[in-house]
Structure 1
Amino acid sequence: MNAQVDVNQATAEAEEAVKYPQFQFKGLFQARYLSSFGDNVDVMGVHHATGEEVTRSSFDIKRMRVGLNTKLSKETEVVILVNLADFKSDPKTKVLENAYAKYTFSKYLALTGGQFRPAFGIEELVPVDIIKSFDFSNQYYEFGKNGWTSFQIGASATGSVDVGKLPVSYAVSVLNGNGKNQEKDKDNGKQYSTRWVFGLSKAYKINLGLNGGIGKVFKKDVFALGADITSDFKLTDKLTFDLQMEYKQGTNHNLYFSLPVETRTSDVADYQMRGYYIMPNLRYTVNYGKLSSLEFSCRYESFDPSYKIAPNVRQTCIPMISLEFGKAYLGRIEMGLEIDRFDKSIPNTSTYNDELFLIQLQLRL
């Protein structure tokens, strides 16, 4: 009994000895070389029917992020993240990405408020610098335009609990739903979403995620839902295989309200988006010199921004080879193709068949 008291007292004294605030600086640099193989399609994926000279190859700085995580106490942290590369275009509603405070009561409950990425799928919980492809999926960005994913302003409750032997984590969020760096909500409606993740297998890291959301946008009812599964198999001591699969569907109210009133139907539910992607990834540990590993991934995605009215499915295939230097993706060199195929290509738009070659250098600071 006395020994347990001594241990508890020592732990309490050790916690009191920790000095606050604590600061952790982070950064990310991503630079790319792009080359378009499409017929009269530039490096941004836009088709030019007139046949004038278009930019077919270019160097680009995709991200130059600088972040600061501040621990004010054991329970309280403040996170700031900016992307300085957004200054290359109109920075309005850009640049500032994360700006939130989080208070952790226990593993069962933590509250977050500010601007952050709400949990609504696999990609929302993974930083872009450690995903297995060049960038997030098409559906991630489209659902972001509709207020469910990407950086949003609002509040969230998260936590985890064991139901018997089944580990479960959850997130419940309430959001403005009109993107980052907005002066105010666009209307009086809010969007409510939740995510639940069930750990089905610890040995193979198989997790099942379920997502759902409802809300009002300009007094119109909107919804979103999704399901996803991840797994990670160790084939040999040096070779691992992981797999991601995700499906999402929801109201595309962003498209609906962007159309002239006379050209759209009266029911926002007529405009729905849906899509899925599958991304297998093979990782071979090298540990030769500064080279840590070789990876090969190939994400296949099918996405339709309006499958009920004027459907036009976009199929995207992205095979990619990655060389990792250092630990935890400290440095990466990635090379691959982004192949886009539409049911109907539309001239003079980015909705056009294209093949884009990419080489990307990534450094984590």
Structure 2
Amino acid sequence: MHKRTLFLAILFFVCVFSASASAWPPGDTTARDSSIEKIAGFIKKISFGGVFQARYTGSLVRDVDVNGMHQPNAEEVVRNSFSIKRARLQAKAQVSDRFTAAVLINLAEFSGDTKGKVLENAYISYRWNDAVNFTVGQFRPSFGLEDLYPVDIIQSMDFSNQYAAFGSNGWQSFQIGVSMFGSFNQDSKIPMKYAVSVVNGNNRNQPSDNDNGKLGTARLEFGEMNKLSLGLNGGFGAVKRQRVYALGVDVSGVIPLAPKWDLQLQSEYKQGNNHQLYYALPDSIRGGEGVGRYIMDGIYVLPNLRYKISYHKLTSIEFSMRYEYFDENKKHNGAIRQSYIPMISLAFLKDYGGRIQLGMQIDQYNKDIPGTKTHNSNLLIVQVQCRF
């Protein structure tokens, strides 16, 4: 009975295909060509890209490994290693003049625990006009300068410590939710951009929210990032029925020094509740205090001196030095971290299509905690990058 049904179904589809093919006159291929053009037009609107980053890391501190972990009693401390930092693939489809869909994955994260990782962007965007746009899915809500750049074009070895901390608390990095954004006065001397987002706040690749609270963020940006811009960021929400907040301000700009020289400057300050730390502590340590007593704040300054050159495929030579101060628990005499990251990089092709970076990550704490990453360290990093 099943074989007969399958045969009839195949025969039916063959007949339908034959009938549709004969619907076009033998000498008239206009309709067929039109259909093919529509399919080809759709395929042409799908773009693929990605980035590959490989690095060599060496620890210059005897008891600290390549991950910054202090291991005083280890038989052998791994102080140098080759690794794949990122192997990202992105697909973006322009479905119509208003709808766009995008997916971004990082295959390098298959080397470890993949829970809550691998998938980074997965969203749909709808464009109404320049002033009103929507994004739904998993994306990076705009809550600072670093949310506006992919990691492969930043002027340092990696994102800041504050970005990592505010990301783990749900304000930055990849989150699941909805966003509205747009721009105004693009032809004026002071253009303005805005972004408003509501997210679950429990980070990426989660089946659902882990409580009924949501995090709301807003950003206003005045000026142009390639000249001078000011960003104001604010956020509030609830985590496990306790109110939380975050705020920040950032400044960026480019100062031309000579025809081939310019100085790029970026700086950010942020403050907010560290509810990730609060709920990770046992009740005996919290002592009945609310999340409002757990505050993190930090500031960084990142100058980048760029010399534009045109020598074969080499486009620029850059020198940067990021300084960052970050306190993850300022009201409880927490560990204060100061980071110095000098870097020199050679950029090839357009938009860092190729890049060689040599830098150091020097972390200094006001107090060391043996056997943890909260310990003074000094890492030498050589990184090679290719964007496609």
TM-score (norm 1): 0.93
Where do 5+ consecutive residues of structure 1 fail to align?
A: 1-15
Shift of 1:39: 2.9
Alignment of 1:150-161 (within 5 A): 150-161=173-184
| Aligned match for 1:260, one of 282, 289, 293 | 282
* CA RMSD across the alignment: 1.6
Aligned residue in 1 for 2:58:
35
Aligned residue in 1 for 2:246:
224
State the one-letter code of the partner of 2:386. Answer: L
Shift of 1:165: 4.2
Alignment of 1:249-288 (within 5 A): 249-265=271-287, 266-288=289-311
Select the structure of larger CA radius of gyration: 2
C-alpha separation between the residues in 2 aligned to 1:19 and 1:292? 34
Partner secondary structure for residue 274 of structure 1: strand
State the one-letter code of the partner of 2:249. Answer: A
Matched, 1:96 2:116: no
Aligned residue in 1 for 2:329:
306
Alignment of 1:152-301 (within 5 A): 152-162=175-185, 165-199=189-223, 205-265=227-287, 266-301=289-324
More strand by share: 1
Shift of 1:51: 4.7
Deviations 1:186-232 (A, max 9, x none): 10000000000011x78x71100000000000000000000000010
Shift of 1:182: 0.1
Aligned residue in 2 for 1:70:
93
C-alpha separation between the residues in 1 aligned to 2:60 and 2:155? 23
C-alpha separation between the residues in 1 aligned to 2:359 and 2:268? 22
Matched, 1:347 2:370: yes
C-alpha separation between the residues in 2 aligned to 1:165 and 1:352? 47
Verify the 8 A CA contact 2:64 2:77 in the aligned structure 1.
yes
State the one-letter code of the partner of 2:50. Answer: G
Aligned residue in 2 for 1:107:
130
C-alpha separation between the residues in 2 aligned to 1:333 and 1:286? 15
Partner secondary structure for residue 284 of structure 2: helix
Verify the 8 A CA contact 2:335 2:374 in the aligned structure 1.
no
Verify the 8 A CA contact 1:299 1:317 in the aligned structure 2.
yes
Verify the 8 A CA contact 1:32 1:62 in the aligned structure 2.
yes
Verify the 8 A CA contact 1:340 1:355 in the aligned structure 2.
yes
Fraction of identical pairs, as percent? 50
Aligned residue in 2 for 1:10:
none
Aligned residue in 1 for 2:141:
118
| Runs of 4+ residues over 4 Å off in structure 1 | none
Shift of 1:133: 0.6
C-alpha separation between the residues in 2 aligned to 1:27 and 1:193? 28
Verify the 8 A CA contact 1:293 1:323 in the aligned structure 2.
yes
Verify the 8 A CA contact 2:251 2:268 in the aligned structure 1.
yes
Verify the 8 A CA contact 1:39 1:354 in the aligned structure 2.
no
C-alpha separation between the residues in 1 aligned to 2:310 and 2:368? 45
State the one-letter code of the partner of 1:154. Answer: G
Where do 5+ consecutive residues of structure 2 fail to align?
A: 1-37
Shift of 1:311: 2.0
Aligned length: 348
